[in-house]
A = this chain, B = another copy of it.
Amino acid sequence: MSMIDKNLTSFIDIASDSDFSIHNLPYGIFSDTAKGERRAGVAIGEQVLDLSVLEAKGLLSLKGGPYFNQPTLNAFIESGRDNWTQARQTIQTLLSADNETLRDNQELQSQALFKQADVTMHLPVHVPGYTDFYSSKEHATNVGTMFRDPNNALLPNWTEMPVGYNGRASTVFVSGEADIVRPSGQLKPNDSERPIFSPCKRLDFELEMAFIVGKPNQIGEPIAIENAWDHIFGMVLFNDWSARDIQKWEYVPLGPFNAKTFASEISPWIVTMDALAPFKTELPTQDPQPLAYLQETKSDSSYDINLSVAILPEGADTATTVGETNFKYMYWSMAQQLTHHTITGCKVEVGDMMGSGTISGPTPDSYGSMLEIAWNATKPVELKGGGTRTFIEDGDTVIMKGYSEKDGIRVGFGEVRGKVLPALDFNFDA
């Protein structure tokens, strides 16, 4: 499963630095026009292959269905791993240079291939539940150092469990679907005075990834760690937009709420775990060894995925990369997260999204949030053509990218991109 056939090529022109090689084949939901009919596609080079067309012509031979003339991928994902495998193999064959079915049928190509630049992408799955973890040791240490105690930066539970919290699924949206309106809420600029109602002054991104649950459990039935990987369909890039000043005032004792529920933005293409298999790598050493229910049964339970975040100021020609990190720095694996999530009996559902938490690496150029990059506003960052930043300003566009690469083969995620608009104009009588 994890071997790469380097000889596999497509009849479609694919640039060598494209995220969407024939080894990738990520799933998304698209339409011709913004209001056109939504259906499933696979990204290949600069194009989208319309799976609803292939399915209608009987070229996919899946069990059940139809799955792809639908506005979300949930039904396909729910149909199970045999279908995931079958679909991937069939689509890869249909796109390969050796196979004539699509290669030599211009009419079919004209029906089934669209330029990515011409289509509108939509949320690829209905997300019934969204949970955000906090699984980067470097990030948790940085935050603890800034806000608590540098000598005891990690809280005692952090190395014992993948700490996480329930997010708000209704505000998960796909890159390009909406701009980010700067949120307004309660801030407390002065410790000795009452809070004020104000636009957020410390708007931040969080460079994360998220996995999509592919198989449910039943309420009361935890997912054992040796089965956890069977429940994971694929991954996306995730910008967990955060209002740091709102968060600081609200989060004790029940956790982040208003500071996080205004915008949770993901990339449009779900890269499957099958496509990512060649890029498996080891987790960092876990010390202490986790409790038995959290002990990984495989050593290569992380993934080598290069990640970057850049800021494009309004009117600037180029974006400035402000952080470069890697998914492999995550301390807790996705399987450990999922097992912990369900250990008390919580039900997870197909389409559920589980965020990694901000992914920071060991060095200042590998941090995943402005809070860390500009170190609590003490180290402003210079942007090409856009002055300096400690947090995100109105008009800024934040762009996150991610890809794996090995032996010349590239499997990427595209990007998640969001532009910040000014806060709403509230008019209170009081």
* A residues apposed to B, CB below 8 Å: 128-129, 131, 134, 155, 157, 160-161, 163-171, 173, 178, 181, 183-186, 194-197, 200, 219-220, 222, 243, 246, 249-259, 261-263, 288, 291-293, 295, 340-341, 343-349, 352, 424, 426, 428-430
Contacts and interface: CB of A to CB of B under 8 A. Distances in A.
Given A166-B165, A166-B166, A340-B258, A345 B263 contact: yes
B344 A246 contact: yes
Nearest to A148: B253
Number of copies: 2
Nearest to A246: B344
A346 B171 contact: yes
A206 to B, nearest CB: 13
Given A250-B163, A428-B293, A430-B295, A169 B128 contact: yes
A346 to B, nearest CB: 4
B197 A291 contact: yes
A349 B262 CA distance: 14
Contact of A170 (B222, B295, B349): B349
A195 B158 CA distance: 12
Given A252-B157, A253-B251, A261 B128 contact: no
Contacts of A194: 160, 288
A195 B250 contact: no
Nearest to A143: B253
A170 B345 CA distance: 11
Given A181-B220, A291-B195, A293-B197, A254 B164 contact: yes
A163 to B, nearest CB: 6
A250 B344 CA distance: 13
A162 to B, nearest CB: 10
Which residue, of A129, A173, A254, A349, has the highest number of chain B Cβ atoms within 10 A?
Answer: A254
Contacts of A173: 219
Contacts of A252: 155, 157, 253
B254 A181 contact: no
Given A170-B346, A349-B170, A163 B254 contact: yes
10 contacts: A128-B128, A165-B166, A165-B255, A170-B347, A171-B346, A173-B219, A181-B345, A185-B343, A197-B291, A258-B340
B258 A255 contact: no
A31 to B, nearest CB: 19
Nearest to A226: B429
A71 B349 CA distance: 19
Contacts of A170: 128-129, 219, 346-349, 352
Contacts of A349: 170
A251 B161 CA distance: 12
Contacts of A348: 170
Given A155-B253, A161-B250, A220-B178, A344 B183 contact: yes
Contacts of A344: 183-185, 200, 243, 246, 258-259, 261-262
Contacts of A220: 178, 181, 262, 424
A260 to B, nearest CB: 9
Contacts of A129: 168-170
A178 B220 CA distance: 10
B428 A292 contact: yes
